Amino acid sequence: MDIVNKGLYVVMGVSGSGKSLIGAALASALGVDFVEGDEYHSAENVKRMSSGIALTDEDRAEWLHSLAARLREAKEADTGLVMSCSALKRIYRDILRTGAGQLRFVFLKGERARFAERLAGRRSHFMPAVLLDSQFAALEEPSPDEDAWVCDIRQSPQEIVAGILARVSA
């Protein structure tokens, strides 16, 4: 499949949704850079989350503005980019949009039990399973006017990426 529209994409969802896996695979298929949003968190935020303390809107502000700046760089360079970011609230997505207005959100949606199962098996990430409830409490699913692409995490990662690529090339 020859993808002409590289675009700017944010793969979003709660912890354990597969943002990093799907994002990296999508970036590879599109031939663009992948940005792991978690790598932009401050050491203090990582410490908080590692300790089981949910981040506040204020805690996330600098992180979100850094991600928006990275999106702006990609837009200005016209290179395309795929980024993973929880983007749990509309206001967070609006901050990301300040970096690139033509931003496409890909929302990885699923049942809480599936996310909990995934988090229980994860060993090399700072985000503990105890914060899953706080993620769902903060989650504001994208509204219709945001035109996000919703993907069901019951599908395999390959099926999800293939579905996204079909939409990109349409």
pLDDT for 105-145, tens place per residue? Answer: 999 998 877 776 766 655 555 555 556 777 788 899 999 99
Does the CA dihedral 137-141-145-146 come out positive or negative? positive
Confidence (pLDDT) at 46: 82
CB 57 within 8 A of CB 138: no
CB 85 within 8 A of CB 142: no
Residue 1 lies in a domain: no
Confidence of residue 3 (pLDDT cuts 50, 70, 90): very low
Burial grade of 4 (CB within 10 A; 0-12, 13-18, 19 or more): exposed
Confidence (pLDDT) at 4: 46
Can you tell me which residue has the tokens 């992948």?
34
Residue 2 lies in a domain: no
Residue 91 lies in a domain: yes
User: What is the chain's Cα-based Rg?
Assistant: 15
The predicted model gives 46-62 an average pLDDT of 83
Look up the CATH number of the domain holding residue 23: 3.40.50.300
Query: Looking at the predicted structure, is the pLDDT value of residue 69 above 70?
Result: yes
Cα-based torsion angle of the residue sequence 22, 46, 115, 130 in order, rounded to the nearest 10 degrees = 180
Q: How many domains does the chain have?
A: 1
Residue 87 lies in a domain: yes
Residue 79 lies in a domain: yes
- Domain span at residue 73 reads 8-169
What pLDDT, in 10s, does the model give residues 137-155? 889 999 999 999 999 999 9
Entry pTM:
0.87
